[in-house]
Structure 1
């Protein structure tokens, strides 16, 4: 039986010490090739102007920029400390002209309608206070035929896989945060229910060993 979902904060990672630990964690994931950049590209998000919802330290979007040409990235991040870190990391990649980070809540993003060619997000879905509303915001800011990609952990992960994931988590200070994220994550059926209630009609959910990926487009 899958345990009941335990809601996590929608305030993002705020504390400077926690931000530093998460940066180490995310950089390690990048260096080991565990982030979803290639999957985003495989989904067809390869050009134009993209929005990243909840970029954290920014590695996912910055890697996307490094693997695409003539693209631009905007990050919508609720945490001031994390946004500052993403800007610093963008500078280290040499992408200050191609990447910009804006303070904002995914429930009410500070962008006009039909603004982005694509939207992607990894690891923030379980934090969204009202995921249907956030998907509707993604729909609003996408241009016609614009694509989206959202990935996150799954709560119904195999217990052995979950144990291994916690074992491999470094720095160890991030383990409790990982557990909290797992407890707040969705199952494939729950995610399907969320998308069905949203403005999107063209979407596909893939259930992997570690998590879920939903892709689709705005008609």
Structure 2
């Protein structure tokens, strides 16, 4: 009962005191606080969730973005997280990926992993990934051949304002999602048309091609 009386008597005065102090700080400061508040709301109610420590996990584009974070390993979540199809781990220092079974158990809809730009990656480990599509700098002989390709990124926003930075990061993820699917389609195009694998995947290729055209 006493706690209820305290709430009724003192909380209104506490709230009014906060509002008074905000106006005493000046209109510009109030606007800054309001802007930060709305930015917080945008992030907390948006499409970003926690999935891999340090990475941006965007449910809209279904991309786990771990680009250019100087990672030497991937710390996977304890629980399974659905609806992510692409893991982007480009431009890090990864030598290995978690096992295919572990990746698929944590991300059931995962279809591909991009590890381009990891100069010490173990190319021999790729043979153990039979269901996931892995994009790397490894050539057919198992040797790292760096590609002179700039993948879409949100790093070039040092002189960008807050609103611009948020917009740029969202666009970078969308650009990368498009870039990834284009790479996947190109890889499918390279299959031998007489190969049994190609014949089995032809319908998938056509569906993906049409989906990319509709989205982008």
TM-score interval, smaller chain: under 0.3
Q: TM-score, normalised by structure 1?
A: 0.26
* Higher relative contact order, chain-length normalized (CA < 8 Å, sep 6+): 1
Normalized per residue, the structure richer in helix is 2
Structure with the bigger percentage of strand:
1
